[in-house]
């Protein structure tokens, strides 16, 4: 049985560090940076849900200031944009490799 989270972590680590998959598997940094079930890296959908929940809480309660809300909202938006660009670059790179084979 395979662990999809581990495999995708190794692929992303290899991509970010510009090494091949087998080198990433052997890398101690890759092994140490993986956290099982900790969900260190949230998916885009999870980040959007978190962002939507923050907006609902702000509109209902107003417990935090407008400035604090804006900062937190923009932090999440920045994470989402980074995740989307990383994902896009990752797909483009492997499309090129696949087409060259």
Contact between 64 and 58 (Cβ < 8 Å): yes
What percent of the chain has pLDDT above 70?
Answer: 89
| The predicted structure's pLDDT at residue 18 | 92
Please write the tens of the pLDDT for every residue from 92-101: 777 777 677 5
Measured between alpha carbons, how far is 39 from 35 in angstroms, rounded to an integer? 7
DSSP code of residue 76: H
Please write the tens of the pLDDT for every residue from 57-94: 888 887 778 888 889 889 888 888 888 777 777 777 77
**Of the candidates 89, 76, 83, which has an alpha carbon nearest to the alpha carbon of residue 48?**
76
Measured between alpha carbons, how far is 83 from 85 in angstroms, rounded to an integer? 6
Contact between 50 and 24 (Cβ < 8 Å): no
Q: Model-level pTM greater than 0.75? A: no
Mean pLDDT for 43-61 is: 85
| The predicted structure's pLDDT at residue 38 | 47
């Amino acid at each position: 049985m395979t662990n999809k989270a581990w495999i995708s972590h190794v692929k992303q680590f290899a991509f970010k560090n510009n090494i091949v998959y087998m080198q990433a598997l052997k890398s101690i940094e890759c092994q140490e940076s993986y956290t099982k079930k900790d969900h260190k890296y949230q998916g885009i959908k999870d980040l959007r849900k978190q962002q939507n929940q923050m907006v609902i809480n702000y509109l209902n309660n107003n417990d935090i200031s407008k400035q604090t809300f804006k900062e937190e909202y923009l932090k999440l938006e920045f994470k989402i944009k980074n995740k989307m660009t990383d994902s896009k670059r990752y797909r483009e790179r492997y499309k090129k490799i696949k087409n060259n084979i």
